[in-house]
Structure 1
Amino acid sequence: MSGSHTSATDARARARQIQEEQRRKDSRRRTGVIWGSVLAVVLVIGLVVAFVLNRNGDDAATAGPIPAVANEQGGIELASATALAEGAGEREVDPSKIEVPKQSASSQPETLPNTEARADGEPTRIVLYADFNCVHCADFESTNADQIEQWLEQGEATVEYRMVDYLSAPNNQNYSARAANAAYCVADQKPEAYNGFVAALFAAYDEHQGKGLDNAAITQLAQEHGADIASCVEDGTFRSAVEHTTRQARVAGVAGTPTVFVDGKNWALDGEDKTFADWAGAKIAG
């Protein structure tokens, strides 16, 4: 009887052991399935993001319109605080045809296209390469905006913005490109609002700190300056133009922003330790 009891006990113990081993196997199998599913979802999300980013890049690299008020370099020139200079006219640009050479990230160009001084008696020419998501560009604007505005109002200088897309990234939803597109939208639809809108986009950096604004906020800023650009922003109407301007800047040797020229001279190379206002002011004064 004792032997029979021992055998039954051993059998139950063995059964429990087998059940426990099976439970552990099932648990490992479920865990493997769960992690496999998680990894599959992550992979799919990664592929979707990569597809969207690549598609956006491909779209920007195709031919598209550029505002008639933009010049050959893609710049928008302020002839006064509320008036834009004449551009190169309605046309399409194709950034895919521009080959960008490798360049040093620390290089500073000595010359740039169409930045040279005008004839005697003509306003001083200020040309600014900038990115709307560039903290140093925002700082430059906040420091010098009042002085530049004064030069514009007095007819002493013109100011040309060549907005580039150097700092777009997934974490800011390609903000540099979206904001530059919006600036083109305003220049095209309501030229007199361009100066104020550009200033507002730079001022917004203090709020978003590099994360960028969404399209609704960009559109709202434009509305506050009297421009309805909702469809232009959502459609990315001038994204090809932004890419075209960006590639031309890289070809010219513009490695970073802001890059500022006055009458053909690069502030970074010619300004020594002078503030921009002092350096440019001396050139304007002659």
Structure 2
Amino acid sequence: FNSDDINLTATRTDDGAFVLGNPNAPITIVEFADFACVHCQAYKPTINQFIEEFVVTGKARLEYRLIANLGTDSTQYAKLAECAAELSGNNSNFWIAHEELFYYMTSQRMNGDQAGRELARTLNLNYTRLLECTQNADQYVTDGNVSRSSGATGTPAVRVRLGTWEETKRGGVAQPIGPNYTSGGVDISVLRTTVENANR
């Protein structure tokens, strides 16, 4: 996601999840992921390809659910992503933070404190206020509950919501793409077929 060249609708479900893409698209792909999870990091290029191929073109939305199951840094990263949007009043900043935080975790191996300082600098946010926001940031708790109720036990996990934004914005439980895709990342070819079927 590059804020310079993509002007996409960034919004949130009624239960707070961050969503990117065309409100009129007939399908939302839901990703449950943890910044600290190596399989999520490995799946990131597939998600990037999905955004380029289907979100940018208006055929699908991406809903991201913050999972924080891997300790202190995992939780702090999830809180920082939420607060990037909260503090700036701009949901697009969540997606910039999402990109940055994966980079900090994988290439820079930053702990939560270092990541917070760097993110504040990148997004031009007050670091003290960013930290204050993280004290109460709890979207990851909601998202963890949605993950469990959707049967998504590990990360990454992928689910689907069929319908326009009006029909799917309440959030909550999301369905597996099919019986073979209850856990783990879903291959781009499967995502492609799923999105194309929804757009017929």
Q: TM-score, normalised by structure 1?
A: 0.51
Q: Are the equivalent residues in 2 in contact too, given 1:73–1:248 (CA < 8 A)?
A: no
Shift of residue 232 of structure 1?
Answer: 4.3
1:176 and 1:243 mapped to 2: Cα distance? 13
RMSD: 2.9
Deviates more, 1:144-153 or 1:180-189: 144-153
Find the counterpart in structure 2 of residue 138 from structure 1. 41
In the superposition, relative to structure 1, how do residues 227 and 256 fare at CA in structure 2: closer, same or farther (>3 Å)?
A: farther
Find the counterpart in structure 2 of residue 163 from structure 1. 66
SS in structure 2 at match of 1:284:
helix
SS in structure 2 at match of 1:269:
coil
State whether structure 2 residue 68 is matched by structure 1 residue 126.
no
For residue 231 of structure 1, what is the amino acid of its counterpart?
Answer: T
2:105 and 2:129 mapped to 1: Cα distance? 22
Alignment of 1:28-107 (within 5 A): 70-79=12-21
State whether structure 2 residue 128 is matched by structure 1 residue 231.
yes
State whether structure 2 residue 80 is matched by structure 1 residue 182.
yes
State whether structure 2 residue 163 is matched by structure 1 residue 265.
no
1:187 and 1:251 mapped to 2: Cα distance? 26
SS in structure 2 at match of 1:204:
helix
Identity of aligned residues (%): 22
2:56 maps to which of 115, 132, 153: 153
Find the counterpart in structure 2 of residue 279 from structure 1. 190
TM-superposition CA deviations, 1:82-120 (whole Å, max 9, x none)? xxx7xxxxxxxxxxxxxxxxxxxxxxxxxxxxxxxxxxx
Find the counterpart in structure 2 of residue 193 from structure 1. 93
Where relative contact order (Cα < 8 A, 6+ residues apart) is larger, the structure is: 2
2:145 maps to which of 247, 250, 257: 247
1:219 and 1:157 mapped to 2: Cα distance? 33
1:177 and 1:280 mapped to 2: Cα distance? 28
Q: Are the equivalent residues in 2 in contact too, given 1:219–1:228 (CA < 8 A)?
A: no
Higher helix share: 1
1:155 and 1:279 mapped to 2: Cα distance? 18
Q: Are the equivalent residues in 2 in contact too, given 1:77–1:160 (CA < 8 A)?
A: yes
Shift of residue 194 of structure 1?
Answer: 2.1
Which segments of 5 or more consecutive residues in structure 2 lack a partner in the other structure?
1-10, 162-174
Q: Are the equivalent residues in 1 in contact too, given 2:31–2:156 (CA < 8 A)?
A: yes
Shift of residue 196 of structure 1?
Answer: 2.2
Which segments of 5 or more consecutive residues in structure 1 lack a partner in the other structure?
1-68, 86-120, 169-173
For residue 178 of structure 1, what is the amino acid of its counterpart?
Answer: Q
Deviates more, 1:159-168 or 1:141-150: 141-150
- The number of residues matched between the two structures is 170
SS in structure 2 at match of 1:265:
coil
Q: TM-score, normalised by structure 2?
A: 0.70
